[in-house]
């Protein structure tokens, strides 16, 4: 009898453990999807409301410097004045550490203030930090180990991202792909899918509208078009490098010139107000969704991409909150329209390729970029989207929007000897 029990346990214990873990994470991830779906939907409506207010009352932009002081004060009074944003979240995922719960309300309020008064920022950074803060708290309440907490953080980020953007597959693969280049956190893929789908379904029940675009009938793809796409990918990779250098260089420069954070955020906020008045348009404030939609329709001014880049660099360098991905979409799309005549590409296609390609260049997440193209534009021209994503990923080198992103393996060399993992751990130690 004992021999039979031993044999039974040896043969069936691993599958039973897998089944129990599967059921556990199905329930947990679904619950996370409900929570993050509610939070993501609330965040969507809050940003939508303040954007409408800003458009209706353009004079609100004049209060951007004061809003900056309020944001700096909030982070100071909560003990988060040295908050490292996505860098801290990435490290927490790699190490299975907690993310302070105060991160969620702080990033929510500060991003709403940034958008209300005209800072040039997006939403994804806030969405990921919101999800990480909530997921970390839930994991702590459930007494999770560091490995389970890591999965909880991933599926919480995926759920919030999905509810906000309406791109569930992109949310899943972006969450498990962008943290450590060369490593995909497959252990969290099922949980991320469940939470992402549940969060998206709930957001749709709450009537959250998500962007989706359709490409015009472009006819058959030609070899000339593929070569033009290759050239566009290289140009976008260079633009991505310049964007990352400007963003991080700007932060360092302004911290050096204006070390007092209150003065820095006030003066740079005033500079954004001045540039807005001088430009005679508010197209570069907030997420610039109308500018993006115009570019995807084939129309953009030659300087749109440069001014949107400048406004975004000033906003993030000052200390305003939000994210860089939606501005990245806008910069890439408007740049695509600019270079489309030189490359012989239809302006609408070049804009769509620019959106996806620049996203791949600055996030180093090519799989998520390809899925983003599919979820935003459908299956048309997927070969072109895949090509531009991979080219941008390869040619952008080790540049990234996120200082906390670690390059575990080379983009060009086959390094499978474990050195990449060692460098990952060493990198985290150096960040402490």
Q: What is the pLDDT of residues 67-119, one digit of tens each?
A: 999 999 999 998 877 777 777 777 777 777 777 778 888 889 999 999 999 99
Q: What percent of the chain has pLDDT over 70?
A: 91
Residue 264 has pLDDT above 50, yes or no: yes
pTM, two decimals, is 0.90
Average pLDDT, integer, range 15-44? 89
pLDDT digits (tens, 9 = 90+) for 344-388: 999 999 999 999 999 999 999 999 999 999 999 988 889 999 999
Helices (H) and strands (E) in the chain, counts: 17, 2
CB distance 128 to 172 below 8 Å:
no
Chain mean pLDDT for the chain? 88
What CATH number was assigned to the domain covering residues 223-401?
Answer: 1.10.3080.10
Kindly state the percentage of the chain with pLDDT values over 90.
62
Q: Cβ atoms within 10 A of the Cβ of 273, count? A: 18
288-314 pLDDT tens trace:
999 999 999 999 999 999 999 999 999
Any idea where the domains of the chain sit in the sequence? 18-205, 223-401
Same fold, 18-205 and 223-401: yes
| Burial grade of 330 (CB within 10 A; 0-12, 13-18, 19 or more) | buried
Please identify, in words, the CATH class of the domain defined by 18-205. Answer: mainly alpha
Q: Note the pLDDT of residue 429.
A: 46
Confidence of residue 9 (pLDDT cuts 50, 70, 90): low
Q: Confidence band (pLDDT; 50, 70, 90) for 234?
A: very high
Closest alpha carbon to 191 in 151, 149, 247: 151
């Amino acid at each position: 009898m004992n021999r039979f029990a031993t044999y039974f346990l040896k043969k069936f214990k691993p599958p039973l453990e897998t089944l129990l873990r599967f059921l556990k994470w199905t329930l947990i991830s679904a619950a996370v999807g409900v929570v993050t779906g509610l939070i993501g939907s609330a965040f969507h409506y809050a940003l939508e409301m303040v954007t409408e207010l800003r458009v209706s009352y353009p004079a609100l932009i004049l209060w951007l410097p004061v809003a900056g002081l309020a944001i700096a004060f909030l982070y100071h009074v909560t003990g988060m004045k040295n908050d490292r944003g996505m860098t801290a979240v990435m490290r927490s995922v790699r190490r299975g550490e907690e993310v302070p719960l105060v991160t969620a309300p702080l990033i929510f309020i500060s991003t709403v203030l940034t958008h209300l008064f005209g800072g040039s920022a997006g939403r994804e950074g806030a969405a990921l930090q919101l999800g990480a803060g909530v997921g970390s708290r839930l994991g702590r309440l459930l007494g999770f180990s560091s490995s389970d907490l890591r999965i909880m953080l991933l599926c919480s980020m995926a759920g919030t991202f999905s509810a906000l953007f309406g791109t569930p597959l992109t949310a899943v693969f972006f969450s498990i792909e962008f943290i450590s280049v060369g490593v995909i956190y497959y252990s969290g893929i099922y949980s991320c899918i469940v939470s992402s789908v549940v969060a998206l379904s709930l957001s749709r029940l709450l009537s959250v509208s998500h962007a989706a675009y359709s490409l015009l009938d472009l006819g058959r793809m030609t070899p000339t078009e593929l070569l033009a796409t290759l050239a566009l990918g290289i140009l976008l990779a260079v633009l991505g490098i310049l964007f990352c250098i400007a963003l991080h260089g700007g932060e360092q420069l302004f911290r050096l010139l204006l070390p007092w954070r209150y003065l820095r955020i006030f003066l740079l906020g005033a500079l954004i107000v001045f540039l807005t008045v001088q430009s005679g348009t508010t197209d570069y404030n907030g997420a610039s969704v109308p500018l993006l939609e115009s570019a995807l329709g084939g129309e953009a001014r030659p300087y749109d991409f440069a001014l949107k880049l400048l406004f975004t660099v000033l906003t993030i360098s000052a200390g305003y909150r939000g994210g860089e991905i939606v501005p990245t979409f806008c910069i890439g799309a408007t740049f695509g329209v600019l270079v489309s005549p030189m490359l012989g590409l239809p302006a609408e296609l070049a804009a769509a390729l620019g959106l996806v390609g620049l996203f791949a260049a600055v996030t180093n997440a090519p799989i998520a970029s390809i899925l983003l193209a599919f979820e935003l534009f459908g299956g048309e021209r997927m070969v072109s989207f895949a090509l531009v994503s991979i080219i941008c990923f390869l040619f952008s080198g080790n540049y990234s929007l996120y200082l906390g992103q670690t390059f575990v393996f080379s983009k060009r060399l086959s390094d499978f000897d474990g050195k990449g993992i060692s460098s990952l751990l060493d990198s985290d130690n150096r960040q402490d």
